[in-house]
Every structure is written in C-alpha cells, then in structure tokens.
A and B are shown apart, each in its own frame.
Chain A
Amino acid sequence: MLTLSLSTLRERWPLFVGAVMTVALGVALVQAALLVMAATGRGWVPPGVTEEEALRINEGYVGAATLLGMTVPLAAFLAVFIVGSTFAFTVAQRSRDLALLSVLGANRRQLRRLLLCEALFLGVFGTLVGVVLAFPATLAQSAVLHGFGFLPDGFEAPFGPWVLGASVPIGVGVAVLGVLSASRGAARVQPLDALRDTGSAARVMTPGRWVTGLLCAAATAGFIALTRSGDLLVALGMSLLISMTGSVALSRLSPLLVPLVGRLFVLPGSTLAELARANLRDGVRRSASTAAPLIVLVALVLGIDGSLGSLAKLTGVEQERSVRADLVVDSTGAQSARLAALPGVAVAAPQSLLPVSITALSAESPDDPPRPQTYDQLVFAVDPVTYLETHVAQPRSGDLAALTGPTVAGGSAVWGDRLVGETVTLRHNGQETTLRFVARLPETLALGEEFLVSRDAVPADLLATSPTQTFLRLTPGTDPATVRSAIAAGDLGTVRTVAEWAGAAAKAQQGGNLVIMAVLMGLSGLYAAIAAVNAVVIAGAERRAEFAVLRLSGLTRRQVTTAALIESTVVTVVGLLLGALVAAGALIGVAGGTGGVVAVPWGLFGVLSAGALVVTAVACALTTWKVSSTS
C-alpha cells in the first residue's frame, strides 16, 4: 500500500499540487501566528520607554493576540475545507484506477487505507514546506501587525522548537481530515466502473453530499431564525455561523445548483454557447469543484465584512440618536467657553478630552478576581447639567447630577472588562486623585471605556488647553447657518452637524475593522485562488481527449478556448452569486440584532468578483490553449 501510495503521488503529482500548497500555507500561517502570539505573551518592552508607552505597547500585544487568535481557527477551517474539496476532485479523477484495484481484489478497507496513506504523505510533505515557509510568514505577519500599530519597533518573534508540536500535528491532521470523507466515497467504487466510463462513479450528488448539504442548509435557516431574538451579540455570532454553515451547505449542493443556475446565464444562440451550455450539464464535478471555493470565499469575506460594517454603521446611528443637539463644534476648552454666549444657542455642552489616565478595578466576569486596569484614552470633563440636557440615554445606575467635585461616571463599554469597586484613581502629571463613582453610564457600541469627570474638579488651565467637543442646541427658529457663520467669524472652532459627527465615529470604527478584513481577505483569497485554479487546471488537463475531438470536428484552437472560457466564466459567476446568497443570509442575521441597520459591502463584492473572474479566466485560457494543441 505504501509503495502504491508513493508511486501514485510520484506519477500523478500535478493532481496534488493544490492540496500540498493548501496544507503548507495553513501550517505556515498557524506556526507564524503561534510564534507571534507567544512573543506578545512575553510582553517585551523596548528599553527606555515611559510607563505610559509600556502600557500602550502591552495593549497592542493584546490586540495582536486577539487578531491572531481569530485567524488560526479560520485558517484551519479553510485548510480542511480546501484540502477536502481538492482531494475529492483528485479522487474522482482517479475513479477508474481505484475500480481497477477493486477488480484485482482490493477491498474497501484497502482502498481507504491507500487514500489515507496518500493523505499522510501529502500532509507530511505539505507540513515540511509549511514549516520552512513559516519563517518568512512570521516576519511578514509581524511586519503587517507592526504596520497597523499593534507591535512596537524592534519586536521579534523567535523560532522555538515547541511550535512544531503544534504545527506538525495540525498540518498532518488537516490533510487526513480533509481526505476522510473523500476516501469513504471512493472506497464504495464499483469494480465494473473500471471497465466502462459511466456508472455510479460518475454520480456526483452522493447521499453523503445530500445529507451534509441539507443538514447545513437546515442549520443555516435555524441560525437565521435565532437572530430574530434581537440580541446584538447573538446576531453577530450567528452571522459568522451562518456564513460558515451556509457556505458548506451550498458548496456541498453545488453539483446540483451550479449547472441549474448556470443554464440561466448561457442563452442558446451561437454554437460555442451551445457547447458551453452542454458542458455545464456534462462536467458537473468540474464545475462544482471550481465554484465551491468561490462560494466559501465570498460567503465568509462578505458575511464578516458586512457584519462588521453593519456594526460600525450602527455605532454611528446609535451616536446620532444618543444626543439631542443641532451642531457639534471641535475646538479648545477656552474657545468652547465662549460658545454659550452666541445668539441663538440654547445649550452648549462641552466635553473636553483630558490628558490623564484612570486606574480602576475591573473583572472579566463577576466571578473573576478584580485587577487594576488603566484607561488613558477616553476621559472627558463634562458639565453634568448641560450634559444631561443634550444626551438622551440615562445612566444604568446612580445619578449624573451628582457629578460634582472628586467624582466619576464610567462603564460604557459593551465588550470589555466590567468595572467594579467604589473609587478610581486619576493620575495627571504624577499627581494622584481618588474619585468616587456616582453613576454607571449606559452601554454603547463605541470602542473603548469612557469616563466622565466633572469640569469643576479639573484645573481651569488644563480645561482651557484640552481638545473639546461642544454639543450645541439652538433656540427654536434659529437658522443653523447664522450660528455657523458666527462661530466662523469668532474663530471658535470647526462645526459639523450631528449626522456628520456620527458618520465620522462610524468611519473610525470601520478603520479598526479594516485591519481584521485585510488579514482575513488575504488569507481566504489565497486559499480560494489556489483551490479554484487547481480545479480549473486539473479539469483542463484531463480534457485533452475531449478538446481533440472538438478540434477534429473543425473547431479552431481559439474556438475551443473560447467555449471553455464561456463555461468557466459562467461557473465563476454562479459561484460568486451563491456565495453572495450566503452573505445575504448572514446580513439578514445581523439585521435581526441591529434593528435593521445593515451595511452591504458592494465595493468589496465588486473587488472579489473582478479578482475571481480574472484569475479563473487566465487559468482556464492558459490550460485550454496548452491542452488543445493538435500536435
């Protein structure tokens, strides 16, 4: 069996290139991520930095580890899926070989063992390549994270042999897992199929495909239903699950769906279109293998981007709804103090961003022991009276009116540690003040923990120089334009409407999402490209005889290539559409939690579609052109 596995790999290696590359890529990514995560865990800080800088670097480490923690399971999911579909296709291409072994007396267990041996070799080989690739991958990953500001200058993620204990089993495991289902189907091949070309081996929609496809479809429908509960966290979690189960469902059912949908696109007319139409019906396995990775790519990337985008949009909407004001002015504290006196201004609520840090006790859950945590980005000085007049939401507990003297309000972050204890410590220029909690703020989707302190507890010179946002409510009947020109005339700061201000907040949140999307896109796009190109090239190479017949029937090489191109383009379009369908499901899920606020990532869909169409078209044209020569 070992000899046969090895010699098959040697003889038919082009069939396995895609699977090996997928395993190698997965191993490289996982190993690099683990090394970087381990290095962030050591919390190295460059010598000579201040305490505050050290704190910020450590926050970056936590962010980097979180991001990498997300990519590792995703890389594993994609790798198992892509190895599985690539291998299933290679097994289908060899059904005659396997049937022949069965004629010669091989039983099912032996056939499965043969394929698993191949998977093992593939896994080991892919892992070796991956372990080597992981060295440049670690550098690249660190560079990307450094570029996004997660890692400090001079950060290093050194190799440690311990990481092989994780990356080697993952590589081999991914290969074997991916091959398991394909091997079960292949072992059921009928010996008679060695002697004729059709038969059960040609049947693509196996019972296994039906079962997993329909189960995943049912699960997807169930997840969509669950998001109706209206809970945002549930909806976000569900939308990720919807993307995953939905893409598995549609890719398992793709032998059924791709030709069905594809036939809607190719209208019978020219001979070449007729030919492409007939091939769509005939080459079901080929079409399904090309479409499946595209379905997964589009479903995952659009689904996740759509969810994050919707969340950012909701942040903006929430902010806009949270204030009762007409204009927002950005200025210094000193300029802000003069706004209230302008004609037409009913209320001016200043909110100054203080260059101070607050240390509070916090815990991840009520059961965890509280530990001190320092926040230094969102400490605002407000006037409780005007603040209450311009903000809608009421505190969860306590009273904002009591925010005078050495007091504080906080606890707004939805995701993050829960603040505990009665007091916090405010630090400014090395001086420490203890502030008493008087109110818990309502939860918001904005990033970070927000603290409010009373303006009368802050030195006037500090207030005067701090960047300040002032919310203006105008007296009824006042034209905002007059107030705007008065502010401009007095050089009192830049003015925005509340809608513009909220939009900017949404954009800031989207900026954080971009990092996640960049990592995600690169990863999934690479996998999908490997799998789709692999399917196109293998299918093309195996169609030598078919193309030869077409040439003998009088078609030119150009016409043969055109027909193949029409076919592969239609398959790509169908794959993209089915993926978009899953992403739509994920967005419907998100909408359940955001009260209908949805950001549809049209631009990203356009980029992905264009990329997929170009990549498959080039691969198809090159392969067909090469294979359809008559010599």
Chain B
Amino acid sequence: MSYGGTTPFAVELRAVTKQYGTKSATVRALDGVSLGFPPGTWTAVMGPSGSGKSTLLHCATGLDRVTTGQVLLTGADITRAPEAYLTTLRRRSIGFVFQHFNLVASLTAAQNVALPLKLAGSRASTQDIAEALGRVGLADRQHHRPRELSGGQQQRVAIARAMITRPAVLFADEPTGALDSRSARTVLGLLKDLVTAGQTIIMVTHDPAAAASADSVVFLSDGRVVDRLDRPTTHAVAERLARLEESC
C-alpha cells in the first residue's frame, strides 16, 4: 500500500484540526494549521501553555490522529495509515527526544542506543553504537545505566538513540526543559551540528534561548499559527512570546 503525496517538505501539515472531548465539551487543540518544514532545517514551535504545541508534535509524528486535514511525513500521507504502518514509520523515519529523556532504566547507555535498531530487526554493531555515543561525547559512558548519568548526559544518550536509525526527521519535545543552562547549551550545540550535517529537526519549546538556536520559529496561540520568525535571536523571541502571552 502506498500513502504517497507530493510535497517539497520533510513534514507538511495541511489544514489540520484536532478536537478533544465529546459533543458537550470539545476542546479544539489545533484549528486549521497549515505548515511546512523544509528538509535540512531546524524549526522551533513556540507558544503559551495550552496553545497546541504538544498536540502539533503528536499529530505530526502519527502518535495522535488528526480530526480533519492531512499530515504528510517524508511525502507519505499518514492521516489514515494503519497502526502497523505507523510503527514501521517510527522505526525508520522518525527520531524522538523528550524533556524527561525516557531512557529504558534497566538498559545501559549502549543498549539504549541499540534498541531502535534491534526493534527494527537489524544488527547493531558495537562499533556503530560506540561511534554514536562518541559523537555526543559519551564514548566513556557506554556501560553506565541511566541513573548513573547526569541529566545532560542522559539527554545526549537520548539524542544518540534517536539518531542511530538516521531518521528523516528528529522531533524534540522540550529537549532542554529539564536541564541546567550549561547542559542545555551542550545539547543545543549537538542539535546544531546535526542540522549542519543536513538533519531536519522540529522542536517544541518554551525557552527563548533554545528557540533562538533554530533556523526559524513558528508561534502558536489557541491552536492557530499566529506568527513566524526567521533567523531568530533570544531577545526577539522573548519579546514576541511576551506579547502573545499578554493577549491571552
């Protein structure tokens, strides 16, 4: 079965709405969002709490179904795709980085990084894993378990894990939200290096400093795209965000 469509974007949302709840009490988390994320770019999605940032991320990755509209991921329409197809997609084309790292506590750093490959049924060579951990600066932490690592180190393991399958798109949900500013800078630097090497990154954040590392920033409010900023600075992002939060 093919779910093909034509799009110049790595990820494209076409008139996407997402409604929660039943008839009596509906919440429209996304309200007619149309957005394209070009390949090889880093886009930050910002907005006040409840603006629909997380919903957008979940819908764009197929973790959640849209109510109306279309989502195209690497050219494939995932709007109506069956669960099995989405599972394969998650293995091959998507990498995830979360605010709370979400490493498997019982596995070592190396085993965590190897996990997506193993789930996809391919062999994970020790050398590949060591290299992936080396790229995030943790060559000497391979056999440590998550609880033996600092928050920043855990997030770097999570990035290595997300990148091991060379995904088309890396989704990051508040990747610096649980980190001190120094660790946050290291993580943002790693993401920057990935984009320079051609990786597409979509990142949800409410931290202006993090958003300023991206190529462009999209602002959401009440489920709608209300603004966009290219080549952002921390100052400009903070100002726009403050304005948005005031109008709420």
Contact of A11 among B96, B106, B119 (CB under 8 A): B106
- Indicate if the CB atoms of B107 and A102 lie closer than 8 Å: no
Asked if B102 is an interface residue, CB under 8 A from chain A, the answer is yes
CB within 8 Å: A-B pair count: 60
- Indicate if the CB atoms of B105 and A11 lie closer than 8 Å: yes
- Indicate if the CB atoms of A102 and B111 lie closer than 8 Å: no
Contact of B104 among A101, A107, A191, A192 (CB under 8 A): A101
- Indicate if the CB atoms of A103 and B64 lie closer than 8 Å: no
Q: How far is the CB of B132 from chain A (nearest CB, A)?
A: 15
Most chain B CB atoms below 10 A, which of A10, A191, A192: A191
Report the Cα distance A194→B58, complex, angstroms: 12
Asked if A271 is an interface residue, CB under 8 A from chain B, the answer is no
Known A7-B111, A191-B63: A101·B119 in contact at CB below 8 Å: yes
Report the Cα distance A451→B115, complex, angstroms: 77
Contact of B106 among A1, A12, A103, A105 (CB under 8 A): A12
CB-nearest residue of chain B to A4: B107
Asked if A475 is an interface residue, CB under 8 A from chain B, the answer is no
Report the Cα distance A191→B98, complex, angstroms: 13
Contacts of A191 in B (CB 8 A): 63, 90
Report the Cα distance A50→B161, complex, angstroms: 79
- Indicate if the CB atoms of B119 and A106 lie closer than 8 Å: yes
Asked if B91 is an interface residue, CB under 8 A from chain A, the answer is yes
| A1-30 interface bits toward B, Cβ cutoff 8 Å, 1 = contact, 0 = none | 101100110111000000000000000000
Known A7-B107, A192-B58: A105·B90 in contact at CB below 8 Å: yes
Contacts of B102 in A (CB 8 A): 100, 103, 194
Q: How far is the CB of A177 from chain B (nearest CB, A)?
A: 25
Interface residues of B in 70-123 (CB under 8 A from A): 84, 87-88, 90-92, 96, 98, 102, 104-107, 111, 115-116, 118-120
CB-nearest residue of chain A to B98: A195
Most chain A CB atoms below 10 A, which of B84, B96, B98: B96
| A71-107 interface bits toward B, Cβ cutoff 8 Å, 1 = contact, 0 = none | 0000000000000000000000000010011111111
- Indicate if the CB atoms of A104 and B106 lie closer than 8 Å: no
Asked if A200 is an interface residue, CB under 8 A from chain B, the answer is no
Q: How far is the CB of A579 from chain B (nearest CB, A)?
A: 37
Contacts of B12 in A (CB 8 A): none
CB-nearest residue of chain B to A8: B106
Q: How far is the CB of A624 from chain B (nearest CB, A)?
A: 24
Q: How far is the CB of A95 from chain B (nearest CB, A)?
A: 13
B side interface size, CB within 8 A: 26
Asked if A494 is an interface residue, CB under 8 A from chain B, the answer is no
- Indicate if the CB atoms of B63 and A195 lie closer than 8 Å: yes
Contact of B91 among A4, A11, A105, A195 (CB under 8 A): A105
- Indicate if the CB atoms of A104 and B115 lie closer than 8 Å: yes
Q: How far is the CB of A454 from chain B (nearest CB, A)?
A: 81
Asked if A110 is an interface residue, CB under 8 A from chain B, the answer is yes
Known A7-B111, A12-B106: A107·B96 in contact at CB below 8 Å: no
Report the Cα distance A126→B173, complex, angstroms: 42
Contacts of A194 in B (CB 8 A): 102
Report the Cα distance A191→B120, complex, angstroms: 16
CB-nearest residue of chain B to A11: B106
Q: How far is the CB of B11 from chain A (nearest CB, A)?
A: 17
Report the Cα distance A101→B102, complex, angstroms: 10
Q: How far is the CB of A64 from chain B (nearest CB, A)?
A: 46
- Indicate if the CB atoms of A104 and B107 lie closer than 8 Å: no
Interface residues of B in 29-55 (CB under 8 A from A): 54
Contacts of A7 in B (CB 8 A): 106-107, 111
CB-nearest residue of chain B to A96: B102
Contacts of B90 in A (CB 8 A): 103-105, 191
Contacts of A102 in B (CB 8 A): 87
Report the Cα distance A10→B106, complex, angstroms: 8
CB-nearest residue of chain B to A191: B63
Contacts of B64 in A (CB 8 A): 192
CB-nearest residue of chain B to A6: B106
Contacts of B96 in A (CB 8 A): 103-104
Beyond A12-B106, A101-B104, A192-B63: 12 further Cβ-contacts under 8 Å?
A4-B104, A4-B106, A4-B111, A7-B111, A101-B115, A101-B119, A104-B90, A104-B115, A105-B88, A105-B119, A110-B119, A194-B102
Chain A contact residues, CB within 8 Å of chain B: 1, 3-4, 7-8, 10-12, 97, 100-107, 110, 191-192, 194-195
Return the 5 tightest CB-CB contacts between A and B, nearest first: A105-B91, A11-B106, A7-B106, A107-B87, A105-B90
**A-B pairs with beta carbons under 8 Å apart, 20 shown:** A1-B118, A4-B107, A8-B106, A10-B106, A11-B105, A97-B104, A100-B104, A101-B119, A102-B87, A104-B116, A105-B87, A105-B91, A105-B92, A105-B116, A107-B84, A107-B87, A191-B63, A192-B63, A194-B102, A195-B98
